[in-house]
Structure 1
Amino acid sequence: MPLPENNLLFGFEPRLTVEQREYVDAIFDKQLVMVNAKAGTGKTTLAVACAKIIKKPLTYIFNPVQESSMGFRPGTQSEKESIYYQPLVDALLEINENPTQCIYNEETLANEAMRRKVSIKRAMDGVWCYPKSPVFLRGTNLKDMTIIIDECQNFSVQELRKILTRVHDSCKIICIGHSGQIDIPVSKSGFVPYMEHFKDQPYCKILTLSTNFRGDLANWADAYRAP
């Protein structure tokens, strides 16, 4: 089914472009949505807004780093990872959700439980977002959740296979990326190959978003092509 009738999607619905409305409807209607869209098109914010309405736990899989380099960054594991899921934080703020209350963070929860003198389970009331690196997905099962794979263009074929082969049919998956913003060797990116691989499956919808809403400066910067 498309976006539930009379749902304003946190105020976005009256202002959605035709492309954005097709994207939102596909999230509710299909098991797998793959969107190829440049920066500023609202792809992550709309995906997180839909996840909130779907009311399943959200697993947000962020742009991977080299497994060997993750351990050399300063700070705790959560602190090391937090810079990679800033788009999730920004999207939550756009829908008036408090990121510190709804994003799972082991250290924050322990401190909150101590402050309130309650159990960790009680302190987790309101938590529904679980950021994850694909580094730690090996051997796991992904069930009964909404999954957003962000910056999908920077995942290799092997990394995307590792994620997607762990997904049960009770999940909804949203792959977000832009084929024009690949930061790894283009030949290694699995984003376009997997869009081609899934394009004819009835449970999949592949879309593009073309309007950058950040303004003239961002649009002009995006239009630059190196000589």
Structure 2
Amino acid sequence: MEKQKISVKYWSDIACPYCYIGATRMKKAMETVGLDSNDLEMKAFQLNPQAPLKTNASMLDQLALSHAISREQAQGMFTQIEEMGAVDGLQLNPSGAIPTNTMSAHRLIKWAQSIGDKETVSRLITRLYKVYFEDNDSIADYKVLLKAVKEVGLPSQEAINVLTSTEYEIEVQKDLLAAQQNNVQSVPFFVLNDKYVFSGAQPYEQIVAALQRVMKEAEESE
């Protein structure tokens, strides 16, 4: 029996731990209600478009500095995120993440969406989240990105061509503009059937309930 389909998309930045957690919960919820989790469509968002390509700072340093708090206080905030992710089986280490620019990663995702099947795209996005929050490698490092591309089975040479150009930057900018037009101020920002929206890494049970309501409405309108 073919799975029912509804539109599920979300704005996200690879540098957002709540996006990783929220996307994980959404995929689980989609499978629970009989939807294909590979249909979850990611839209690009940048929390810090001015983030550098290289830095010696860690996410812990950046959080402490930006919030004018001690490293101990910052670590306490990250520990809460780690515990939150652990509930969903994620082994996050946000304090050790390298806060570099995510534009190249977003361009790669756009490229993958244009040539790959949805399952491969989904695996690439998940791998990039892991690069950032579990491996603590630089998401702006081309070698790191190409390794992720190879691991999910996408063509390396094409990826090199994308990374060493400005290809797919326009597609990323379109997502960023759409976020502004939709008043997206924080991510993850989910949109169900282009009608219902919610932001943040909501509890799994609430996501299931929201999906069920949308699916019921879509079924009744047929």
Q: Same fold (TM over 0.5)?
A: no
TM-score by length of 2: 0.26
Between structures 1 and 2, the one with greater strand share: 1
More helix by share: 2
